Amino acid sequence: MPRDVTAPDAPRPRQLAFYTLVLMAFLAASGVPTPLYPLYQESWHFSPFMLTLVFASYLFALLLTLLFTGALSDYLGRRPVILTGLVIELASMACFLMATDLAWLFAARILQGVATGIVTSALSAALMDSDHRRGPVMASVAPMIGMGLGALGASLLVTGAPWPLRLVYVVMIVIFAWQVLGLGRMTESVTRRPGALASMTPRARVPATVLPTFVRTMPANVAAWALGGFSLSLGPALAEQVAGFHSSLMGGLLACILSVMGGISVWRFRRFTTRTILLLSSTLLPAGLVLVLISVYLPSLALLITGYAVAGLGFGSGFMGALRAVMPLAPAGERSSLMAVFYVVSYLSASLPALAAGMATQRFGLEATIYVYGVFVMLLSLSVLVSVLRRPVAADPAS
C-alpha cells in the first residue's frame, strides 16, 4: 500500500488546481498543432486529406488507449498513471520539436493520443477525488478552455516569435516537465490493488434501458464533435478562405473561440435542466453555422468569428446535454461501459467526418465541402431539437 494514501472526502484545493492545470495542458497540447498545419503543408507539400489523417491518428490512438486503460488508475493509483501519460506526452512534444517530414507528425500525434488516452480517466478521477463538488465541473470545463488556449497561444508564437515550427513545443516541454516535478508533491487517493491487467479488457455497451434516449440525444454530441474535429483540422484553411490571406493567428483564433465558448456554455448552463440544455445546443449550433456559411459566401471575417462564437455555445452544451441525458439512466454498475461508448462515439465523430471532409476538399474544393459539411452538422443538431420538442427527455425529471 502506498504510504501517502489519503481519504478523498475532504476537498483539497491545491490538488484540484494542480490536476486542473495538468488536464488543461494536455488539451492545450492537442490544439497546438492546429495553427501550424498550414506551415507544415507549405513546407512538406501534403494534401488536405493527409492533414486530416494526421489529426485523426491522434483521436484513434486516444480512443484505443482510453478503452484499454480507462480503469487502470483505480488499481495502480492516480499518480503512476498520470506520470506515465506525462512522460509519453514529453516524448510526443520532442517528436514535434524534431519533425522534418510527415512521418514525424504521425509519430508525434499518435504518441500524443496514447498519452492523452492514458491520463483522461485518471485525471478526471483525480479531480473528483480532490473535490467531489467542483471536480466534475473542472473536468468538463478545463479540456475545452485548455484546447482553445493552446491553439491561440501557438498562433501568437507562430505569428510573432522566432522558430515558428519549434518554439511552441519548447514551451510545452517546459510546462510538462514542471508538472512531472509537481506530481511528486501530490498525495495519492487510491490504494493499490491487484487486477490491473484484468481491468484492461475493453467494456463498451449501451444498456437496453438507455438505448432509446441514447439514439434521440446522441446527434447533439455527434454534431458538436464533428464541428470540433473540422475546426481543429481544416479550420485554418477555412479562415484563410474567408480572410483572403494567410494568417496562422486566424486559424488558432477560430479554434480558441469555439473551445472557450464551449467551456463557457458548460459553466453557464450547468444548472439548467437537461431538456433546456439540449434545446439551447440544437438552436445555437445551427444558428452559428448559418452565420459561418454566410461568411464564406460573402466573404466576411467578422461574421465568421461571430458564427464560431455562437456555434461554440452549442458545441459545449451539446456535449454536456447528451451526457446528462443518458448517464443517469444507466445502472451504477454499467455507467463505465456506457461512458466508453460515449467516448467512442465522440472521438469517431471528431475524426471520421473530418477525414471525409479532407477527401472531399481534394475533389470538390474547400468552399463546396464547407457548405455540405455545415448543412450535415446543422441537420444532426436540428434533429435533436425536433425530438426534444416532441417528447421530453426521460432522464430529466424537470422536463
Domain identity same for 178 and 208: no
Q: What is the DSSP letter of 10?
A: S
Answer for the pair 317, 298: CB distance below 8 angstroms, yes or no: no
The CA distances from residue 285 to 46, 306, 326, 382, in Å, are: 31, 12, 20, 9
Integer Cα distance of 342 and 344 in angstroms: 5
**C-alpha–C-alpha distance, residues 286 and 41, integer Å:** 31
Q: Do 35 and 69 share a domain, yes or no?
A: yes
- 344's enclosing H/E stretch is helix 335-364
For position 398, what pLDDT does the model report? Answer: 42
Taking the C-alpha atoms of residue 338 and residue 214, their distance in angstroms, rounded to an integer, is 10
Q: Could you tell me the sign of the dihedral formed by the alpha carbons of 102, 106, 111, 116, in that order?
A: positive
Q: How far is CA 179 from CA 108, 205, 263, in A?
A: 20, 35, 23
What's the DSSP call for residue 368? H
Helices 167-183 & 135-160, crossing angle to 10 degrees? 150
In the chain, the number of structural domains is: 2
The reported pLDDT for the residue numbered 394 is 59
Which of 202, 223, 246 terminates a domain? The answer is 202
Question: Which residue, 5, 21, 13, is CA-closest to 86?
Answer: 21
| 197 and 260 part of one domain | no
90 shares its domain with 231:
no
Let me know how many helices (H) and strands (E) the chain has, helices first: 15, 0
Q: Range of 100's domain?
A: 1-202
Residues 184 and 280 in one domain: no
Residue 312: enclosing H or E segment and its boundaries?
helix 301-326
Matching residue, cell 467512442: 344
Q: How many residues does the chain have?
A: 399
Same structural domain for residues 108 and 133?
Answer: yes
Domain boundary among 148, 174, 202: 202
* Residues ≥6 apart with Cβ < 8 Å to 297: none
pLDDT in tens, 254-269: 989 999 999 999 999 9
pLDDT at 391: 81
User: Which positions ≥6 away from 1 have C-beta within 8 Å?
Assistant: 191, 192
Indicate whether 265 and 390 sit together in one domain. yes
Q: 207 and 187 share a domain?
A: no
Cα distances (Å, whole numbers) of residue 347 to 12, 47, 127, 221, 287: 31, 22, 22, 10, 24
Choose one of 150, 179, 202: the last residue of a domain.
202
Cα of first residue to Cα of last residue in the chain, in angstroms, is 46
198 and 225 part of one domain: no
Spatial CA neighbour of 229 closest among 118, 114, 358, 95 = 358
Low-confidence ranges of the chain (pLDDT < 70): 1-10, 332-333, 336, 394-399
Cα angle: 390, vertex 284, 59; to 5 degrees: 100
> Under a CB-based contact definition with an 8 Å cutoff, are residues 55 and 232 in contact?
yes
pLDDT of residue 396: 54
Residue (of 54, 148, 65, 143) closest to 101 by Cα position: 54
DSSP state of 7: -
- Only one residue has cell 494526421, namely 54
Same domain assignment for residues 391 and 244: yes
Supply the CATH number for residue 365's domain.
Answer: 1.20.1250.20
Q: Say whether both 328 and 260 belong to one domain.
A: yes
CB 395 within 8 A of CB 325: yes
Cα 145 to its chain centre, rounded Å, is 10
Packing angle of the helix pair 248-269, 274-297 (nearest 10 deg): 160
Looking at the fold, whether 8 and 151 belong to one and the same domain comes out as: yes
